[in-house]
Structures are given as structure tokens and as C-alpha cells.
Amino acid sequence: MRYTHKRPSVLALETSCDESAVAVIRLESGKIRVMASVVASQIEEHSKWGGVVPEIASRRHVEALPFLIEQAVTESGMLIENVDAIAATVAPGLAGSLMVGSVTARTLASLHSLPFLGVHHLEGHLASVRLGNAPPAPPYLVLLVSGGHTELIRVSSYWEIECLGRSHDDAVGEAFDKVARLLGLSYPGGPAIEKVAEGGDFARFALPKGRISIPGGGFHPYHFSFSGLKTAMLRKVEAIKDSGKNVPVNDLAASFEHVVAEVLVERSLKCAKDHDLSRLVMVGGVAANNRLRTYMAKRGSEQNIQVFCAPKAFCTDNAAMIGAAAITRLELGNASSSFELGVSPRWPLEDSSKLYCSNPPF
């Protein structure tokens, strides 16, 4: 089934991890308009365990989605049968959580005789910059930084992409979570560290900028590693405790946040320069970090690279970004997904177009 309407609208669901989210969006005069976007967070429940418990997440999605769909549809002023497609995240993520959103979306699409689009979660993050007031046109470099991903992605056209750099161990968001736990801060770690770092001295502690060796010598200029940084933080905290002193949480948090931002900015801008890209986009939950945004904007300006960020409201997981990816697929005239398409905990971003084949990959 193909869709050719010039003002497509989409009801989108996002349940890849621990956020239940629903949005209704529409394309108007080339700009994506968010008609409604609602999110039910599970942070308070998962914070007791210091991370996401998959079984709990799936159960909460089942409970939350019917009410969120009703709320989003009501706020949008539209009826489900009047939208042009139903979209849901199908990969990557927690299998049980993905299944809840996918089955719900396919059921709604079938009941109302609408196309179904199974969306790649990272494709949603890439599309989130289109939810801003003045999104850039490709080509550009994307720094995708979230709880599960740290990648540098060249976007030559909307779905012509190439990964140029990535983390070889923890994603940066995961590193924030683990360091926050080390410092006795709450989950999720990113906002907690950012809050206490505001009153800290980022220059007090020297911390390493992890690098990835290249066989034969040297270091990869665009790849990331955060395991050494986490170990350095652990050793500093242990040494301070062994000395009988109070742990300076504010200064340690500020120093950690500073070095992470420095690494992300330095390697991102070098990658952009080396590939003759004058525009750089930041998306994902960590892209909401104020220090990272400030550093990137300042250094980018100094190197004549325009920096664009997804709106903060759409940096963390949300359904509007999934809808934006679906709108772009419809806008480009791509076929809808098969109703036989399942879900996958892992699926490469480079193969996201296969989610729209008549013979689904999973």
C-alpha cells in the first residue's frame, strides 16, 4: 500500500524501553506539526532497581497504552479513523516492550483499514531534529547520544546513512547511569549528574578521554570508549573514601560531565571537518545536556560548523519522533510495513529500509 496525500498524518506509538508514549503528528507545508504528544514515565518504579526491569516495563506498557492513545487522539482533535497511518517502534529495544506497541499498532491499523509502519528506534531519533523550528536539510553529521547508543552518523539524504564512529563499550547515557550510581545519585543518571554538577568545579579532577587503538598503531579519530573513564571515577571515589574525607560529589560530577562533553565535541567536529560537512545535528537523550549543547555550539561556531539540536522535549524517547520518521517515509513515497512484521531487540540502522519490504526480515 502506498500513500500519496500531501498532508499525511500519523498516530505513533513508542514502547522500546521504559517510556510509554503516543503522538499524533501531521505534515503541513513541509513542516512536521505535533498535534499531540503524551508520555507515561516508568522512572520512579525502575529507579528502585537502579535500571530497567524488562518484565515490569512490558506490563506497564500494557496498562498505559489504551489511556495514552485516548488522551493523544482527544488532544489532537482527530479521530483514529481519520489519520493516514499507524506507526510503532519495532526495533531495537526490549522484545516484550516492543511487542506491546507493535501488536497495538497493527491491531488499530487493521481495525481501521490503515497502513502500518514499523519504525526503527534510531531512525526516530534521527528524525527528531525535524520537530524543531528550522531543521537542516541533508547532508549533515549526526551525533546520536542516548542511554543505549553513541554514534556518529553521516546523513547524505534522509535514508542514505553511514556510521562513521561509535562507542566500543558503554553508550554515553549508560556511563552517566553507572557513574551516578557510584556517586549515590538517582536514576536516570544524566539529569541527576547535570543537576549536582551545576555547583561543582569541573577542573578539580583530571579524567581520561578514552580512545580506541587501531591495529598497527595510533587511535581511531571518531570512535569512543567510556570504560576507562568509569574506572577512573571509581578509583578516585575509593581513594577519597580511604583517606577518610567526604566525597566531593559536585566536583566529581562536574569533572565527569566536562570530560564527556569534551570528548563528544572534539571527535564530532573533527569527523564533520574531515568529511566536509558544515552542519552537525545532536539527537538522543544526552543531547538535552546543557553543558554538551553549550560546548558544541561554541566550538562549532569557532570552526564554521552549524549546530542543530533536537528540541529538548523530543530528545528522550517519545512517540513524536517515531511519527516524524514515519511521516518522512510516507513523504518519500515508501511502501508501508507488512502486518507480518515482528519485533527485534537488535537490528542495524543501515538496514531500516528492510522494515518496509513485503517480505519482512523478522
5 — pLDDT class (breaks 50, 70, 90): low
d(C-alpha 323, C-alpha 321), whole Å: 5
Neighbours of 99 (CB within 10 A): 19
Q: Tell me the pLDDT tens digit for each residue of 261-308.
A: 999 999 999 999 999 999 999 999 999 999 999 999 999 999 999 999
pLDDT surpasses 90 at 257:
yes
The C-alpha cell at 50 is: 537502579
Q: Which has more confidence, 46 or 162?
A: 162
Per the document, the length of the chain is: 362
**How does DSSP classify residue 7?**
S
Neighbours of 206 (CB within 10 A): 9
12 touches 320 (CB < 8 A): yes
Q: Tell me the pLDDT tens digit for each residue of 35-94.
A: 999 999 887 787 777 778 889 999 999 999 999 999 999 999 999 999 999 999 999 999
Count Cβ atoms within 10 A of the Cβ of residue 104 and give its class: 0-12 exposed, 13-18 middle, 19 or more buried: buried
pLDDT of residue 334: 63
pLDDT surpasses 90 at 97:
yes
Across the chain, mean pLDDT equals 94
Q: Under 8 Å CB-to-CB from 253, ≥6 apart: which residues? A: 179, 183, 185, 193, 196, 197, 200
User: Percent of the chain beyond pLDDT 90?
Assistant: 89
13 membership: H or E segment, kind and range = strand 9-14
d(C-alpha 6, C-alpha 228), whole Å: 50
Task: Quote the pTM value.
Answer: 0.94
Q: Phi, psi at residue 168, to the nearest 5°?
A: -95, 0
pLDDT of residue 3: 47
Q: Tell me the pLDDT tens digit for each residue of 216-249.
A: 899 999 999 999 999 999 999 999 999 999 999 9
What domains sit in the chain, N to C, each tagged with a CATH number?
9-128+317-356 (3.30.420.40), 138-309 (3.30.420.40)
Q: Tell me the pLDDT tens digit for each residue of 184-207.
A: 999 899 999 999 999 999 999 999
4 — pLDDT class (breaks 50, 70, 90): very low
322 touches 13 (CB < 8 A): yes
